[in-house]
Amino acid sequence: MKIIGLHFGHDASITIIIDGKIVVHVLAERHNRVKHSVGLRAAEIDAALSAAGLEWREIDCCAVVSTQDLEIMTGLVGDDFAIRPGDTKQHPVPSPFMQLLESAGTPLESLLVKGLQKVAELDEERAALPENQRWTKIFPEWQKFRAGRISSVGWLNVFIAHDRWNAGRGMEDIRSDGIDPAMFGNATRLGMHIPVTVSWKGHSVPGYFVDHHVCHAASAYYRSGFENSAIITHDGGDASRNLSGLFCYGQGSRLYTLGPHHLALGGIYRAMGIKLGFGAIGPEGKLMGLSSYGQPRFFDSRFVGNVHDSQKRFGEGPFSAWYRHCLKLAEQGHYDLLHGEASQVLNPISVDMAASTQKLFAEGYLLAAEVLHQGLAESDRGTANLCLTGGAALNCPSNSRLYNESAFRDIYIDPNCDDGGLSVGGALFIFHNLMDHPVDLATAKNNRSPFFGLQWPAGLSEEIFVDAGQRYAVSKPDNMAASAATDLDENKVLALYEGRSEMGPRALCHRSVLANPTDHGNWARVNGIKGREAWRPFAPVVIEEKRQDWFAGCPIHSPYMLFTARVRSRRLPAITHVDGSSRIQTVSAETGAIYQILREFDALTGIPVLMNTSLNGPGVPIVERPDEAYELFKDSAIDVLYLNGMRIGKK
């Protein structure tokens, strides 16, 4: 069974699974070089098909998904690419939602949304507002779309819903109502998709639109290896429209949607990042780094809850209420109120607002986890497992608090828990939940590898070595790991490029910059090399079996850099954040060359830890191709490039 997942929203991506196993994953931004890029192009889909050794006509089924409110730009793939929703003839799995619409006489078309088209219709001034600029900046074909030269089909934000979901329930209402037993039947399990037909290159493939958050849930749950699990999906979607995330439950091959939690933590976090001057593209990661500099002096437990709690308590939306509250306390506390510019992010008001928002975020998650844990226990489906997914699961300090403080004992977070993982989730949802294929542990383990990027031809690297030979010292070390460890011990900054690229937003040592963690100066030095703000922290990689000697307070297995740990040693100043924390990646032999490099570095220095950051320039995606890595090496102050086993060193 060959299934292709196509995600057309921001962080657009393609995933092909064969008999449940991921064989290739292509993140569009790595190919068109626009961070968080919207939409898919023919070349990207073709590259994924060719990597899987397949033609389009050999695909059995297609999952289609988009970001909330964003239409699918079919014309970007090509004039011969079309998606026709609602055709049920070739589809093996019925769609109760379509049947419901038909019996109610509601045309599906009336529910399809085209959010980008609305932005395209705005005048220049309004299109330049941060919330709109977010789209125009990450959509390279924007002007063409605006001029009406790219055709599209609307996306479906809502599928089957329970009456309670729209009843304005606060978090305590959700707790006291419990979980309707019907939610563990087919009511929503088979209600979060509709049939579509995807036509391209003269061939039609049956497929399904799958609900955005259900794809997030599937992406985490089916890879987790858990026999059953509570699942929380959460991102920056509109909580007042039930688009910010779901409580779900997975059992075997089945994924049950229990209902929306109406949390607005992702939206609050993003809005605060923009308020503090981090811009419309990716403010969340910077806010997370900044939060360690402050104290949560503005935190107030009255703000912990969901969007409906906020409306009831304050009569307004969660962010406006929260921001006003922070400003009021800052004024009473005689803070200098200046904030909002990049030069003001280290002002006391900025760092305390960041720390307070971080605490609000984590407390909100802890409450949600408690409510879900209790609801499942009362439904005789108690579980110690939790899958976290959606872009909000990139928040490492909050993830670690859930690990340390919630009732769940084991937590799995997918490496591309942001929208980049939706193509994975859509494909797995169809295979397991709709087609009822059981999940086996070997397949889940295969699917937990993040290294499913394209394999670039060896010829590309050969051309680089020829060119490099004329300007740099090029060699093929007998022991590449020992050579790299010596370079690091000599305090050189390395670029490590190896094999297939990693999924998700964080570099996991196939496209990484490495440095010696014992030299505090490397913090400023590598920020300088990468063109980042000097205050931004760096993460460590550590040999998994030695993690406990150096870090505390996070899972032993943290392979995707999604948990924060407390640093136990003073010997690692370059990767220890100002509050003594660190966002760790644990490494095993399966990770790749980095494992041996760490072992060799440990043998030389007694330290099984290195500084690791992504191999990219400022504001652009992680490099994908070997020639991009080489160009970045040439243009930067990186000392040495290890490229598929070869060493290129600046003389």
| Binding-site ranges for Fe ion (CB under 5 A) | 235, 419
DSSP 17-48: EETTEEEEEEEHHHHH--TT--S--HHHHHHH
Cβ atoms < 10 Å from Cβ of 245: 32
Least Cβ distance, residue 193 to Fe ion (angstroms): 17
Question: Between 220 and 396, whose beta carbon lies closer to Fe ion?
Answer: 220
Least Cβ distance, residue 211 to Fe ion (angstroms): 11
**Alpha-carbon gap, residue 571 to 209, rounded angstroms:** 51
Look up residue 410 and give its two tokens: 């084991």
Residue type, 264: A
Question: Between 235 and 639, whose beta carbon lies closer to Fe ion?
Answer: 235
Question: Between 419 and 600, whose beta carbon lies closer to Fe ion?
Answer: 419
**Alpha-carbon gap, residue 60 to 153, rounded angstroms:** 22
Q: Which of 278, 81, 96, 244 is nearest to 157 (CA)?
A: 244
112-113/2-7 β-pairing? unpaired
Least Cβ distance, residue 624 to Fe ion (angstroms): 23
Least Cβ distance, residue 390 to Fe ion (angstroms): 5
Question: Between 2 and 223, whose beta carbon lies closer to Fe ion?
Answer: 223
Question: Between 44 and 419, whose beta carbon lies closer to Fe ion?
Answer: 419
Question: Between 330 and 422, whose beta carbon lies closer to Fe ion?
Answer: 422
Q: Which of 199, 213, 97 is nearest to 153 (CA)?
A: 199
Least Cβ distance, residue 40 to Fe ion (angstroms): 17
385-389/539-543 β-pairing? unpaired
Question: Between 264 and 584, whose beta carbon lies closer to Fe ion?
Answer: 264
Question: Between 419 and 628, whose beta carbon lies closer to Fe ion?
Answer: 419
**Alpha-carbon gap, residue 649 to 424, rounded angstroms:** 38
Least Cβ distance, residue 595 to Fe ion (angstroms): 32
The helix or strand, by DSSP H or E, that contains position 483, with its residue range, turns out to be helix 480-489
Question: Between 139 and 200, whose beta carbon lies closer to Fe ion?
Answer: 139
Least Cβ distance, residue 530 to Fe ion (angstroms): 27
Furthest C-alpha separation in the chain: 74
Question: Between 69 and 235, whose beta carbon lies closer to Fe ion?
Answer: 235
Question: Between 235 and 352, whose beta carbon lies closer to Fe ion?
Answer: 235
511-515/539-543 β-pairing? unpaired
Least Cβ distance, residue 418 to Fe ion (angstroms): 7
Question: Between 352 and 419, whose beta carbon lies closer to Fe ion?
Answer: 419
* DSSP assignment letter at 72: B
Least Cβ distance, residue 5 to Fe ion (angstroms): 14
Question: Between 211 and 624, whose beta carbon lies closer to Fe ion?
Answer: 211
Q: Which residues lie below 8 Å from residue 154, measured CB to CB, with a gap of 6+?
A: 71, 72, 109, 112, 113, 114
> How far, in Å, are 56, 388, 394, 432, 499 from residue 505 at the CA level?
28, 16, 9, 26, 17
Look up residue 134 and give its two tokens: 């977010």
Least Cβ distance, residue 507 to Fe ion (angstroms): 21
**Nearest position to Fe ion, beta carbon:** 235
Q: Which residues lie below 8 Å from residue 241, measured CB to CB, with a gap of 6+?
A: 157
Least Cβ distance, residue 423 to Fe ion (angstroms): 12
Contact 24, 52 (CB under 8 A): yes
Report helix, strand or coil for 16: strand
Contact 623, 511 (CB under 8 A): yes
Q: Which residues lie below 8 Å from residue 45, measured CB to CB, with a gap of 6+?
A: 4, 6, 14, 26, 56, 77
Least Cβ distance, residue 417 to Fe ion (angstroms): 9
Contact 164, 176 (CB under 8 A): no
Least Cβ distance, residue 10 to Fe ion (angstroms): 9
DSSP 499-520: SSPPSSSS--SSEEEEE-TT-T
**Alpha-carbon gap, residue 569 to 548, rounded angstroms:** 11
203-210/61-65 β-pairing? parallel
